[in-house]
Amino acid sequence: MASCYHSNATFEDPVFGLLNCDEVVAMWHMLIERSNGKLQIEFSDIITSEENGSTQWIATYTFSATNRSVRNVIQAEFEFKDRLIYKHKDTFDLWKWTRMALGWKGILLGWSFIVKNKIRSQAKKSLRNYLDRN
């Protein structure tokens, strides 16, 4: 995945927010390492041109913090530069994700800005710690 990104690429999603290229490369490494070989990725509806593209992808994995199974349906939008990903934006239902990843806490509170902001804060902290270690 790292080799697909332009050196000035950005990535954005509901959990990590906006990341620069170094951060997005580290994010993919971190997520794959944490999956312990149990990450499954499916792609469909792939549309591309020289300038942009989109796809739907489904990530199925065990969320390491709670050991709960997640099946996240994601819509990805891309802009390309020099035949590499220059901008990558993933969108998905964060409340639905919290229900799968957090269980009853996600069902009751996953819709709230407090929980969503805590998830984002923890994701960024995990990424910063990963970057510091590697």
Q: Which tokens hold the place of 13?
A: 């999603």
Per the confidence metrics, is the pTM higher than 0.85?
yes
Q: Taking every pair of C-alpha atoms in the chain, what is the biggest distance, in angstroms?
A: 45
Whose tokens are 């041109």? That residue is: 49
Tell me if 2 sits within 8 A of 85, measured CB to CB: no
CATH number of 2-133: 3.10.450.50
At residue 46 the predicted structure's pLDDT band, cuts being 50, 70 and 90, is very high
The single-letter code of the amino acid at 33 is: E
Within 13 Å of residue 42, how many CA atoms lie on the same side as its CB? 7
CA dist., res. 121 & res. 17, Å (int): 10
> Is 96 strand, coil or helix?
helix
- Residue 37 C-alpha from the chain's centroid: 17
pLDDT in tens, 60-116: 999 888 899 999 999 999 999 999 999 999 999 999 999 999 998 887 877 788 888
Q: What would the mean pLDDT of 11-26 be, rounded to a whole number?
A: 96
* Residues in the chain, total: 134
Q: Where are the domains of the chain?
A: 2-133
**pLDDT band per the 50, 70, 90 thresholds, residue 14:** very high
